[in-house]
Structure 1
């Protein structure tokens, strides 16, 4: 109960601070640029100045936090990547030279590429198919709610759920893992799925696909509903079947939205960390870049320089995709 009370107190305090800031900043702005007791010309000038300053008062805290927690860490990471394990001695590009000659880094890079090839494509495809199918049935909203539900679960929580799905017990013991129970029911042999090199990466990918399919479904469903009915009706009158309508009428009209969903999931995949940490901790050839960075930065490696170098590599990989995504989203908003 103490934790509950303290959480409620912090929430109430945060709201109170926000209200005080916005009310107080407006009051202070009114004193600096008064709209009463001055000439009409001065009043108009003060109103213009206040209107130009007010948005920055509201944006100020957000920009300050973004600078503190996003911009500053970027420069600090680049700085640390050029220094030794303690961040004291300048070593130039030595950390990057080590990185590209390290076997674990190459394994992590290969696994990240696998994730990039599979997860965005599978999530977008399943989301698109489900969105198209559920829009055609009366209970579609119920189905969408169930499919979207995993989005409400944290990656760690989802990983724990899937640990029970993949759970393996020694021969002779009852298999409590759902997958192994099904395999044995059909006469197969139980396997330790997450320890099978190469294939275990795909078993981990299933978790992220399970989570992100709901996100893709919601966005693409909204895009499908925005397609004019006249185009579909015209295709039907011309003799097009359901498959032809789906691939030749619907998909071309929402291709921009599909690209945005694809790249959004791609950015997430480039930073995948929680699932690997909870399921295997990078063992059995499942290591990825973010987990490797965490190991070198905060765990056994204890090398800030090498950890920061991996972080910079991840950032460099994310930036082009993010920029392209933003441009596509902007183009979608403008209707191009």
Structure 2
């Protein structure tokens, strides 16, 4: 028996694959390599190259590899760009999720962990985001993730009285950083850590977008969570589904406290040994002062914890990026 990881050649998915292997749950990867990297898939892990929009391919992968559950990480994850590419975003994230669920039904697979996003909440005006907060996504990306949760919920309702009802949970989180394996690093052109690292590698000065927010140091405060912790929570969720234990429909994987962009910049300078004073640019439209989520439910059920300090987040991410040079 195995678990299919959609998007398993990507930054987060590849970490989930390694965490599954460590837990004794055999992973199988499906990825079209649109943003993933074949070299991120460990030797010996079956790799199906193709899109999750191909129902026949997904169904065949589920059947041929005796899959008992899916960890659905694949998706178009760029919230800002999704505003310019809404149709592409919906095709990848909404239609992709629908096809995965349809393939699961065809193959008789009844467990799914969905990699959702805290973007489903939009820009809440509360200090801490909890799971019951109203969902007001502010981008096509956030909307597509919320619709994905709805699709999974509705399929669970539709199969509730069947012999094998769909068991599921969705994991919501913000900014994933660091590395738990030096061969895997964040290659996104839109995330803070890789943007800063690439600036330093190019001997350029990183920039902060606005320093006049209503926060202690004037810069945005966000959840930054280590990819190793994120991957571990996905695996515990999968194990909980398999065991038949009660599980919530959704969990926030939040830091409870958050970190400011300036705190991140200070940690980068400290850890890399490259002194710099970040340039201050204008605010980005729509950036809220603070978005931080709780992780109480996940701590109760998924062994969720923040196991890395900010310096360790930076160090592991920087070392993995440097290893690729």
TM-score scaled by structure 2? 0.22
In proportion to residue count, which structure has more helix? 1
Higher Cα radius of gyration: 1
In proportion to residue count, which structure has more strand? 2
TM-score scaled by structure 1? 0.22
- Greater RCO (Cα-Cα under 8 Å, separation 6 or more): 1
